Structure 1
C-alpha cells in the first residue's frame, strides 16, 4: 500500500505473448497491487496469433509453451515432418494465448483500444505518468503508476534504401493479406534475417507467379525446422548437456560438424539411422541443390554458429534449390537495379516491380520515454540500470530458440524484483556496462541498442540463478533426462509455481547416444578451458 492506503499500481504495456505472461506473474507476485495492462488492439494474440494462412512457427509447441501452462509434450509424429504437427500452425498459437488468458482470468485486467503514447517520470520523482489514447472516445488520458513493464517488442521499419517507387510498405506486408497482393511481379527482397527469408519464400510460391530474388550481404545460418538426418525437430536435439559446453568450443566443433553433415549426409544417415522417414528421402536434384546451397550460405556466414541469428525454414532452401528463388549479393547503387553476385556468381542486372526492404526494426522505447533510452540501458535486457521501477519483457532475441519462453523467465524475474522477493543486484550500472560490452563483442552484426541477443537457455539459466530457481533434479533419472532430453523451461524449479505438468510424459532422448558420450567426453576440456583467466 502507499502512504494513503491506496494500492500500489503496475502498468504493463502490450498484451501479446510477453504482456500476457507478465500480467499472469504480476498478479501472482503482487496480490495487493492494482495491475493494468494496456493493449492497442482488441486481441490478446500479439504479432504471431495468426500472421498469415499457412503460418508454421519456427520453434516447437513443446519448447514455446509457457512452463506455467504446459499443454504439449515432446512426442514426434512418424511422418518425417510432413504434417508439421510438432509446431504451431495457422492460428494455433493465437488459440493457445487466448486459452491462457481465459484460464488465468487475465482479460479483466486488460484495457483494449488504449495506445500508450508516453511514459514520463513526474515532477515529484516517484513512479511514472502513463499517457494513453483511448480509441473509442478519441481522447487521451494520463494515470500514475508505481512501476512499468514495457512489452511492446519491436516495430518493423526498414533502414533507408532510397525513395524509389518500387519500395514496398513493410508494415502493410506484415499484415495478414499483405504479400498475397504481390503476384506476377519481379521482386527483390533485401535482407538476411528470418523475416526476409520468410517473405522471399512466400513470394516465391508457384501460385504467386513471381520472379523472386533475395539480396544478401553475407551468408546466413539456415537451421531447418526438422533435422535432415534424424527427421525430428531440430529443437529436440538441443539439450542441456550440449549447452553446458563453452560457446567457443561449441562454435568450433559445431561449425565443422554442420559442414561435414551437409557434405557427407549419406554417411551420417548410415552412422546415425533414424526411425523417422525424413522429407529429404525423395533424393534427386532438388535434394542435392538443397545441400549445395545450405553449404554455400553457411560457409559465408560472418559470425560463429551460436553467435548470429538462424533462419529456420525448410521451405526456403527448397525454393532456392528448385530455382523459384535466386540468391544475389547486395545492391551496388541507389537505383536498386544492379546487384553483386553471391559467392562468386556473376553480377545481376534486375528491374524489379517491387523491392521488399526487410532490413530493419525500430524500438518504441525512445518514443515512449521521451529520451534516448534503448535496450542497452536495461541490465540483462529487462532491468533498467538506473530506474528500479522500469522494466522490459520480450526484447531479448535468441540466436536459436523462441521469444515467449524467454519472456516468461524475464516476467518471473521482474515481477519478483518489484515484489521484493528477489533482491536487485548490487552495482547494476557497472554490471550492465560490462554485459553490454560483452554482447557487442560477441554479436558484432547486431544493433544491441535495439535487440538484446542471447543464447536462449544459458540466458534463461542466468535469470533463473538470480531467483535461485535453476534446474534441481530430484533423482539421477531426472538428472539424466534434464541433460539429454530436449531442453525446456519446464526444467526450472519455482517452488511457488502453480503449474500442472504432472500429466506430461517424460521427454525422450533424441540425440544419438554416441554424440551424448562425445559431449560427456568434452566436459573435462570444457572445465579446463573455463579455468583460463577471462573465460567463464
Structure 2
C-alpha cells in the first residue's frame, strides 16, 4: 500500500472509474513517485449497480446516454442493458484504459483530515483499513494525497424512516420489514401480503415483481406522488395504427436553441421547461386520456407540480398497468381515436392489482397499517379504506449521505460545493463527483464531465466559473431531495465552463455539415463535448457519425419534424425576441438613468 497519492479517489463505481481515467490521462496523474489511487470498500468494482441491484433490474436510462463518451456499447446491444451487463461494461472500461493497477479493492476509508502543514503539498490525510482476507486484513494505513475526489455516490446508506409499530416501539405482531437494498429476487415476495413503501423507480420495480411473484396482495404506499413515463416511447395506438417507435425518451430532446445558444434571459426563466411541460401534458391527454403522467391514472403529483421541471421522471412504468386497474376510465370515442396499449396480463397472476395507499402513520398492535386520508387530488384512491395487514414491508425509501468521516475544513458534502456541485472556491483540491441526479438522463456521463471540470480547476487551467446556475430542478422546499438537475442544461453549462461547447461555425469547419447536423438534432450526449476543447478526442467524430446519428434516424421523418424542427423553430424565435429586447434595453437604459439623475438634481 503506497503512502502517498497524487490524487486519492474514494469509491469504485462509474464516477470513481471515470475520475481515475481522466486523472491518469489528462490530470496530475503522478507527483514524483506518487501515483493516483482509488480505494473501494467492496471486493469488486461497479458501485450501486453491482451491490444494490436485484433480479430483473435494468437501466432506466438508455445505453446511448449512460455510457462514457469514448467507450461505447455496441450498436446491436439492447437500449437498456441489465445491471449485470452494465457492471461488465464498467469492468471492460477499467481494463481498456488500464485502471486496474491503481484500484485497491476491499479497502475502506475511515477518515479524511486536513494536513495543511505538509511542505510538499500532500494536504489530505486519509486513514484506510484493509478488509480483504490476507496477511494485512484489518491493517490500517495512512495515505497522504494532494487532491481528493469523493465518488461514494447517492446510494450507499439506506434511508429508513422511523415508523411506529414497525421499526420503532413495541408491536408483538409487527410485520417483517426490509429495506430495498436487501431485496434481491421475487422469491422473497411470493405467497405473502406485501406493502411497498415508496413509489420511486425501485418501488415500482418491487411492486411489479410482487404481482408477478404471486403475492397474495400488493399495496404501495405513496407519500407525495410520482410522475410516470415509460423509458421507451411505444405502444400508442392512433386511429387504428400502432406506434411502436421503440425510442428511448432520454435521447429525444434536441440541442439547438434548447440547450445550445440559449439566451441568458430565457435560461433564467426556465421557459423551455414550462413550455415543454404544457405541450407534453396536452399530448399525453390525447394519447392516453390523462395528463398526470403517461398513462398514469393514480398516484399523481399535485396539479401545480406535475411536470419534469419539478421532479425526476419515474421511468420504471411496468407496474402502471396494475396500478391503473381500479381507476382507468376512457370513453369509447377517445379509445377509438387514441389510447395506450398495456402489455398482455401475465398468466396465473393471483391479484393483478397494486392497491395504492398513503404512507402509513404507524402500525397498530395487530400489525395493521394505519393511514391518513390521501391529499385532495388523490381522494379517488380507495385502498387506504380497507384493512392492510402485510406480512412483509419493503422500504423503497431511498438512501442518504453521511459525512461524519470528513474532518474539519471540508465541505459537508456536495450541498456545500458552490462550484457546480463539484467543489468549493475555498479549496479546489477536494471534489465531489456523481452526486447530482438528472430529472431525465444518467449520472455516469454527468460524472465524466464533473471529473473533467475538477481536473481543470484543480490544475488552475480554467478560472472558477461565475455564470448563473439555471439547471436546478424546482424541488419543493420541503422535499428531502434537493440535488436534482436538468440533464441537458447542466451538461451544457459544464461544457461552456470548460471551453468544450462547440460552436456551429467551428463544427462545420472542422468536422463538416453532417456532424454539425447531428449535434443540432441530438441530445446532450457527452461525446459532443469531446469534439473540441481541452478533452478533444479523435474517436468523437466517428461516434457522432454512427451511433449518435442512429438515435436521430430512428425517430423517422415525422418524428424529427415534431421533436426537432418545430421545437427548434419555436425556441429560435423566443431567443431572438430575447436578444432584441436585450439590445433595446442596452440602448435605452443609460438614457433612462441619465434622465432620472437629472430629475434628482
Structure-2-length-normalised TM-score:
0.73
1:482 aligned partner: 519
> Cα 1:487–1:498, aligned 2, differ >3 Å: closer, same or farther?
closer
C-alpha deviation, 1:218, in angstroms: 2.8
Asked if 1:376 is matched to 2:415, the reply is yes
Determine helix, strand or coil for the equivalent of 1:168. strand
The C-alpha deviation readout for 1:143-189, integer Å capped at 9, x for no partner, is 2111110000122222322351436231xx32462654232222222
Aligned to 2:338: none
Q: Write the deviation string for residues 20-62 of structure 1: whole angstroms up to 9, x where unpaired.
A: 0000000112243320000111211221147223222111111
1:517 aligns with 2:519: no
Alignment root-mean-square deviation, CA: 3.3
Task: Tell me the CA shift for residue 527 of structure 1.
Answer: 4.6
Q: After superposition, where does 1:410-429 map in structure 2 within 5 Å?
A: 410-425=450-465
Listed as ranges, the matches of 1:69-80 within 5 Å are 69-73=71-75
Where does residue 585 of structure 2 map in the other structure? none
CA spacing shift, 1:341–1:435, aligned 2, 3 Å:
same
How far the C-alpha of 1:133 sits from its partner, in A, is 1.3
Q: Which residue of 208, 214, 230 corresponds with 1:201?
A: 208
Q: Is the 8 A contact 1:263 1:295 kept in 2?
A: no
- Mark the CA change 1:324 to 1:364 in structure 2 (over 3 Å): closer, same or farther: same
Deviates more, 1:31-40 or 1:58-67: 31-40
Distance 1:261 1:295 in 2: 18
Q: How many residue pairs get matched?
A: 488
5 Å matches for 1:51-70? 51-70=53-72
Is the 2:41–2:108 Cα contact (8 Å) retained in structure 1?
A: yes
Matches within 5 A, 1:327-338: 327-333=356-362, 335=364, 336-338=369-371
Higher Cα radius of gyration: 2
Deviation string for 1:70-109 (max 9, x for gaps)? Answer: 2344x8xxxxxxxx92111241101110100000110100
1:133 aligns with 2:139: no
Aligned ranges for residues 201-350 of structure 1 at < 5 Å?
201-204=208-211, 206-228=212-234, 229=236, 230-241=245-256, 243-244=258-259, 246=267, 248-265=270-287, 293-294=296-297, 297=300, 300=303, 302=305, 304-321=307-324, 323-333=352-362, 335=364, 336-341=369-374, 343-345=378-380, 346=382, 347-348=384-385, 349-350=387-388
What CA distance in whole angstroms lies between the structure 1 residues aligned with 2:319 and 2:519?
Answer: 32
Note if contact 2:208-2:318 (Cα within 8 Å) is conserved in structure 1.
yes
**CA displacement at 1:531 relative to structure 2:** 8.0
Q: Distance in 2 between matches of 1:513 and 1:440?
A: 28
Whether the 8 Å CA contact 2:438–2:484 is kept in 1: the answer is: yes
Alignment of 1:189 with 2:237, yes or no, is no
Query: SS of the counterpart of 1:162?
Result: coil
Residue pair 1:249, 1:526 contacting (<8 A) in 2 also: no
**Mind listing any 5+ residue stretches in structure 1 that lack a counterpart?**
1-5, 76-83, 268-286
Measure, in 2, the Cα distance between the counterparts of 1:27 and 1:288: 48
Match of 2:247, SS? coil
Asked if 1:352 corresponds to 2:390, the answer is: yes
Q: Does 1:96 align with 2:89?
A: yes
Change (3 A) 1:482 1:294: farther
Match of 1:124 among 117, 129, 134: 117
SS of alignment partner, residue 297 of structure 1: coil
Q: Closer, same or farther in 2 for the Cα pair 1:289/1:55, shift >3 Å?
A: same
Matched ranges for 1:446-461 at <5 A: 446-447=479-480, 452-461=483-492
Q: What secondary structure sits across from 1:56 in the alignment? A: coil
Residue 41 (structure 2) pairs with residue 10 (structure 1): no
- Contact kept, 8 Å, 2:411 with 2:424, in 1: the verdict is no
Contact 1:49-1:92 at 8 Å conserved across structures: no
